[in-house]
Amino acid sequence: MFSGGGTGNQGKIKGKAGSSSSSGSSSGSGSDSSESAASGSSSGSNSISSHTHDSGDSSSGTTPLGTPPHVQMASHESLNSESKSSSLNSKLGHESAGSPSAGSPSPPKSACSSSSTSTDHHHHQLSHVLSATSKMTVREGSRTLRPDEPPLFPGEHLEGTAREVTYLCPYTGPKKGTLSVTNYRLYFRSPETDPPYELEVPLGVVSRIEKVGGANTSRGENSYGIEIFCKDIRNLRFAHKQTEVQIPLHLDRELYFSIPVFRRFRILHNIAGYGTSQMNEENHSRRMVTEKLLQHAFPASHKLPFFAFEYCEQYPENGWTLYEPIAELKRQGLPNESWRITKINEQYEICETYPAVWAVPAAASDNDLRSVATFRSRGRIPVLSWIHPESQATITRCAQPLVGVGGKRSRDDEAYIQHIMDANAQSHKIFIMDARPNVNAVANKAKGGGYENEDAYQNAEVQFLDIHNIHVMRESLRKLQEVCYPHIDNAHWLSNLEATHWLDHIRCVLSGSLRIADKVESHKTSVVVHCSDGWDRTAQLTALAMLMLDGYYRTIQGFAVLIEKEWLSYGHKFAQRIGHGDDRHQDADRSPVFLQFVDCVWQIMRQFPHAFQFTEDLLLTLLDHLYSCLFGTFLYNSERERMEKEVKTKTISLWSLVLSNMSDYENPLYNPATRHHILFPLTSMRHLRLWDKYYCRWNPSMRQQEPVHIRFKELLHVNGQLEKRVDELRKELAARQTHESPRVTSAMV
């Protein structure tokens, strides 16, 4: 028995040949909150939040729950520090006070003047000055832009630039600079600081965009602009300069603004001799930025391709070849006498949300599979996720049975579950883990769903894991966002965090996964896992249980295979849950299901820092690119949709980035011997922590202690340099002794 490192509040590691202990509680908590849309404050407020990203922040993983996450902070002086991982921010949005172009001249102010009386010509001039991209000079195949415009990624192009824009940062105050929009990101640069202040945000992160203030109603400073609500727990506010129009004193101001715009132009022109440029009451820079942001932040709503299809970076490794389903099943020892591999769903005819390759009981024929599919929601029948290499106990996943109010039965489905149980010779019992609360499962009968009746399924025991649905999770994250961004209420930190119920939900997911792993490892019984449709809570439970049971999934490549297998191929609806490319921010299908899974992985990593080959930097990269749409990995809802869109041939895999920069994610504390151990984490509330490096990372006051693994990696580097120097000195000494030896012999003669 080995205890995990860290604070001492760790779970248990068990060798596969040893005995197991420590099973977590499964009782769920957290209120069944009402469904709510994504969070956001009123767009009319003048002090609306934005962000500052300290890319060098690192979580020590040892802060007690009762400690507010920013008590370790010293000051707000530094906006950022150099990132420990070069690839982590290479293609992501970030904020920095420094850039390679520090010291470059300030961007010129926009000039909007014309003596023409043609409104169309005036609009053309404004569009040319405020909206048009700057001229580029091609020099040896590279593009040279203005100092205040962003360096472009392969496939990225500038859509528009607005000058004299103010970024309203809730931490460091207003900053005036240039705002650029490309087909991939928003880029803001302010020359007011030395070095210049920079902000980059991938447009895939944007959830919604709102205009703040009106041309005729906003009178305060920085009260006219746009506010951008993001999916990664931050909001951005930009103020645009208003065009001032002098109204002659003898005109009634209220009456003037009540008439149509074109008539106001004519009145001012006739009375005061105004030119059309002076009569422009709508700020064209805001309109241009809003139009471009809406167009490229929501490409699916505007029938445009995702940027992943235009991104053409070259990576040494091809991430699309990482996961091969048959190779992964063979790694688990399949096929064998009890399980077979089938391609019955190769054309996605039986289940369009399942992959083409399944592992099913050898005793079940193809006709049996078709019959069972008619009794399971969405045709998602029980298929193998993982098999124990010794006991042959299995984890299978599926969707709820279509029992309905009348208690409908299926003999084929009952026989199929019996085949799964019979494939494990060491146990004459099988557990059916239903992720839902019992009340929800009963309520689903009214919709034609339900759960297995123990009287119909012999030797089966049904257990409910009390994990709430996607709507409750979405509301919980909204509350957590209000607690963590932009400011933290130190005096009420504990009560505010508790009111979100976020850690309650994390505990339920972890506890349910632990129960599954314990049944398979300790009791040597097979487990069938499902929720309603089997693509949200089911994926969380199976993936986490496999992470605990199989050390291969705790390596960098194995973790990528786990996500490809349990999340991507088995049809977690990433497009609907994240809202990739669409502007329906109030869509009820959105929910942080995958975020919860990654949070649970981090909780396990805290308790077992030596059992994972990767660090939390890999988890942060996953979540950032979950939203960025830079890679094709998380696009669309199923394997079938990705095949139809030719994602593997037209986009780059996220794993190409990871595998090409593995040293950035490797954990120097990793002990390969733990690959043969089972992890049983502690899941009680007193052992869980808020992942503040993710949820609170935009706050510049989050200058936390440097993680041990980063310091250890630096010491290993220094140690390697010293050892290399010792080897050089030894070789030099040996060469000197060899050179002097003949001279000594000659003198003796």
As annotated, the active-site residues are 531
Residue among 236, 348, 243, 333 nearest 287 (CA) = 243
β-pair type (430-434, 526-530): parallel
CA 203 to chain centroid, in Å, comes to 14
**Cβ neighbours of 299 (radius 10 Å):** 20
552 with 601: CB under 8 angstroms? no
Phi, psi of 179 (to 5 degrees): -110, 120
**Cβ neighbours of 411 (radius 10 Å):** 10
Residue among 381, 409, 425 nearest 526 (CA) = 425
Residue among 201, 197, 194, 150 nearest 175 (CA) = 197
Rounded Cα gap, residues 506 and 513, in angstroms:
11
693 with 620: CB under 8 angstroms? yes
As to burial, measured by CB atoms within 10 angstroms (0-12 exposed, 13-18 middle, 19+ buried), residue 738 is exposed
Largest CA distance in the chain: 121
546 with 386: CB under 8 angstroms? yes
Give one DSSP letter per residue of 356-376, joined into a string. Answer: S-EEEETTS-HHHHHHHHTTB
**Beta strands, E only, 676-718:** 677-680
Question: Can you state the percent helix, strand and coil of the chain, rounding each to 5?
Answer: 35, 15, 50
Element (H, E) at 159: strand 158-169
**Beta strands, E only, 488-577:** 526-530
Token look-up 């030395």 returns: 194
As to burial, measured by CB atoms within 10 angstroms (0-12 exposed, 13-18 middle, 19+ buried), residue 377 is buried
Q: In what order do the strands lie in the sheet with 394-397?
A: 383-387, 394-397, 526-530, 430-434, 460-464
